[in-house]
Each structure stands twice: as structure tokens, then as C-alpha cells.
Amino acid sequence: MTKKLNPVSMKKENKRIILRYLMEKGKASRAELSKETGLAQSAVWRLIGELEDNGLLEVVGISANIGRSSVIYGPTKSFVTSIIYNVEIAETLVAVGYLDGSWEVVDSFDTQRDFEKFKNTVINSFEKITKEYPTRNHISKVVFSLPGIVNYEKKTLMCAPNLNWRDIDFGKEFEELGMEIFIENDANLSMLAERFFSPDVKNSKVAFFLYFGEGIGGAILVNGNIVRGRNSAAGEIGHVSFCQEELERYLSPMRLLGTFEYAIDNSYAKNSTLQQKFNYLKSDSVNL
């Protein structure tokens, strides 16, 4: 016997497809959504109406085509969907993530090496943020970006040498928050963000991400997937910490960032690829 499809589940999945496309693309017309998702135009019209009623989509513009105009839709920024804790050796930054893919830093605190003290600070921060945002019911996930070797499937931090944290089950430690807990190595998480938002990385078969925070980390992406290795340490280049003065002296990141800002403002660089920008930085016209 052929198993019948559940209409409710099908509708939910189709809504997810539309939302994911808009979160990745930013905005689109109903005709584009139908073409790119493979859904019938009538279904797209109906689902967009329901997503608007749910406060998930909104009209972001009008596209003037030959003979007619099209309404352009995008994800709304009406509520917070996640809370992110970017844990570094000295400081933890706290941000909220919105449905449209944007985020905003809302708090920070010193990273306590005593994990119990860190845990209590996170819980207090979470309670404070959820009180400030009346749309708590829409928050579905708490994300931890961690400086160490992470088993994201088991939600376990295996080792963070610079913090002296080992074998910590974040899922269990923070289950009282009542939210899905997601943890990942900071470099891997940055690479996943690049894969989602950067066309250059999305279209690359192999990519390497070098992470500079209060330490140095690395991540490897092959065919769209993070390479983790047998011990979840693939891409890790060490646990070396440093201060900003050392960075400025030896690597001069502020000057390098200034060059990138110039390149981004340059009309040629705006539409160029990462490879073209890299070649520009190597050119004789750039004085580092």
C-alpha cells in the first residue's frame, strides 16, 4: 500500500522551503519563489498569505517589470528566533538573531573559567533578554559558539584548553532554559555562516576559514559540509591565545581591515569575487 502524504505536514514543509529560500536570498517575488522552489503558483500565493498572517513575511518592495509590477517579499524582523553566546577566552558576547538572518549584540560579560559561575551568568543573561523581548515564544534555540573541540551532535564541549573546560554536556547543563541547545566550534560556526550567506563559499567545493578572535582557529568545508575528522578536531590549528597589542604589532589587522573597507567602498570591488579582492590586496597599488 502507498502511504498517503499528510496535508498538514506537507504544508508545513512547503512553508519551511519558502522561508529558507527567502532567508538565504533575502527577498523574492511570488513568481520567483514558484520557479525556484518548484511549488505551484497557486500554492505559493496561498502559503505567502498564511506566512504574512503569521507575521513571518512582509512586503519589502515592488519590482517594476515590463507591463506589470511584482510584489517583493522578505522575512520579517518582528521577533527574535535565537540567542547566541559567542564565548571567547576573556569575554562572552551575547546576541539575538532575527528571522531575516540579521543579528544584534545586546550584552557582554567576562568569561569565567569556573564553569558553574559561567553557567549562572548565562542563565541570568537569558532571563534578562527574554523579559526584554515580548516574543519569547518565537525563540527556539540557544546557540553557543565555543573556542575548543566540540561534538555538536552530543552537544558536548570535549576540550577548551585555554579555559580549562573539559567534557561539558551543554545540553544537560542548560536544559532548564527550555530551549533547543546548539553548540559548535567558533571557526566551524563562522564557516557555516559563510556557506549560508556568501556566494563565493557556497559555490566552492573546498574552503578554509581562518578565525581570529582572542585566539586562532580554523575550519574546513568540502562539498558544502564541515570536515570534522575522527576526533572533531579537523581544521583546528592550535589553542594559541594572544592580546590585541600583539596582533597589531605582528599582523597589523586594523590596517588590513582598513584596506578591506577601502576595497569594499571601491566601485570595482563591490561586485568582485573574493579571489579578485584577494588579488587586489596583493597588488602594488595597496600599501600595507
pLDDT (tens digit per residue) in 106-154: 999 999 999 999 999 999 999 998 888 655 556 788 999 998 899 999 9
pLDDT in tens, 65-99: 655 678 888 887 766 788 999 999 889 999 988 87
Q: How far apart are the first and last CA of the chain?
A: 69
Residue of higher predicted confidence among 63 and 253: 63
Residue 209 has pLDDT above 90, yes or no: no
Of 13-27, 151-165, 166-180, the one with minimum mean pLDDT is 13-27
Nearest Cα to Cα of residue 184 among 225, 219, 150, 231 = 150
Residue of higher predicted confidence among 172 and 140: 172
Of 1-10, 11-20, 112-121, 141-150, the one with minimum mean pLDDT is 1-10
- Residue 27: phi and psi, rounded to 5, are -165, 160
| C-beta of residue 99 within 8 angstroms of C-beta of residue 79 | yes
| C-beta of residue 168 within 8 angstroms of C-beta of residue 183 | no
In Å, how far are 23, 75, 98, 99, 256 from 56, measured between CA atoms?
11, 6, 11, 8, 39
Residue 32 has pLDDT above 70, yes or no: yes
- CA triplet 151, 145, 170: central angle to 5 degrees? 50
Q: Extract the C-alpha cell encoding 273.
A: 569575487
* Residue 246's pLDDT band (cuts 50, 70, 90): low
Q: What is the pLDDT of residue 253?
A: 45
* Residue 167's pLDDT band (cuts 50, 70, 90): very high
Residue 32 CB partners (closer than 8 Å, separation 6+): none
| Spatial separation of the C-alpha atoms in residues 125 and 197, rounded to whole Å | 28
* Residue 283's pLDDT band (cuts 50, 70, 90): low
Mean pLDDT of the chain: 80
In Å, how far are 94, 153, 241 from 91, measured between CA atoms?
10, 25, 13
Which ranges of 72-216 does DSSP label H, i.e. alpha helix?
A: 115-132, 170-173, 186-197, 199-202
Mean pLDDT of all residues in 156-174:
94
* Residue 1's pLDDT band (cuts 50, 70, 90): very low
| C-beta of residue 113 within 8 angstroms of C-beta of residue 164 | yes
Q: Extract the C-alpha cell encoding 182.
A: 546548539
Q: Extract the C-alpha cell encoding 141.
A: 534555540
